[in-house]
Amino acid sequence: MRRSSGRGQVEPLAALAAVLAVSAGFVVYADTFEETTPEEPDDQTPSAIVDAVQRSLQSAGVASPARLDAATTAVPSGWEANVTLAADGTRWQRGPAPPASADRVSRRVSVRVAPRRIQPGQLRVVVWR
């Protein structure tokens, strides 16, 4: 009868070399992954500005035309914005007239058109420097 205790064993030095090789592979992979992933957008991009305007316009996920003035103050200095909220055949707008080269973003939102009355609507934000 053969003894199986002699099979499948590795010298300690070889096992240590294998662990170091795998660890080095993970380090190279992590470094490459970090360099190739896109950076997080900062709060000076048009998309981030639109997010900030939408957050200041909404309460409990519902946009309110009464908060349009507060929404325009969410725009960082150095940027201009025109904010339009439309629902139920009515449009509310704040901000100066945008130039043709401005960035335009539209999003579907829920809009409180009257107390206890919420309608689907559209938020349109135009930003430029």
Which one-letter amino acid corresponds to residue 128?
W
Interval 40-83: pLDDT, tens: 556 678 888 889 999 999 989 999 999 999 888 888 888 999 99
Distance of alpha carbon 74 from alpha carbon 56, whole angstroms: 7
pTM: 0.65
Answer whether 102's CB lies under 8 Å from 46's CB: no
Alpha carbon distance 126, 129 (integer Å): 11
38 has a pLDDT exceeding 80: no
Region of 117 on the Ramachandran plot (φ > 0 left; ψ -120 to 50 alpha; else beta):
beta
